[in-house]
Amino acid sequence: MKNIVILISGRGSNMQAIVEAAIPGARIAAVIANRPDAAGLAWAAERGIAAVGLDHKQFASREAFDEHLAAKIDAFAPDLVVLAGFMRILTPQFTARYEGRMLNIHPSLLPSFPGLHTHQRAIDMGCKVAGCTVHFVTAELDHGPIVAQGVVPVLDDDTEATLAARVLQQEHQLYPEAVRRFAAGELTLCNGRVAGVGADAANLALQVPRV
């Protein structure tokens, strides 16, 4: 059984999708937020999951917060740390601590559009498709070995909000599947790339809905 610790900052819709997927061989050991009032904490607690709120504003530095956060995470002996809308830039020391066992989901087809406002940037650039990317976390923001990507069309009348909603639907499918594959030991890091995505798994690594 793999222990999973999920980090959130708000309602944690991807966290909820992962919990509700009831992934075989995976135990959601804890949900931790950098905001004590994060709505996702109450949701997790109602389901019997340990829910921990840490106010990052109470720490003198990013390094101090990350050190305290790591101690809270390690108390649950995690095999995998999952960032699910965790809106904090992590220090290199923190990312190194969980190298190869920390996943993030980003609302763009990386390496395109790292950072914020991904959906509007895709619309402004005239992209015909957009999507989301699950990747292993490294010290470089929104980089790291790519595990899986979900693709959606960009429609002529899309707004940032409508495109974001369509991408989020893909996130809720893609992220639990990526966690399942990790828990099952199906993902291998080799020379900075993720192995374990063969032809039989292509539909899991790249989801392309019909327009």
- As annotated, the active-site residues are 106
- 100 phi-psi bin (left φ>0, alpha ψ -120 to 50, beta other): left
Residue 58 CA to residue 39 CA, distance in Å, equals 19
- Strands 80-83, 102-106: pairing is parallel
Burial bucket for residue 143 (CB in 10 Å: 0-12, 13-18, 19+): middle
ω into residue 209 within 30 of 0, thus cis?
A: no
Closest CA to 14 of 70, 88, 83, 66: 83
Bridge partners for 151 per DSSP: 131
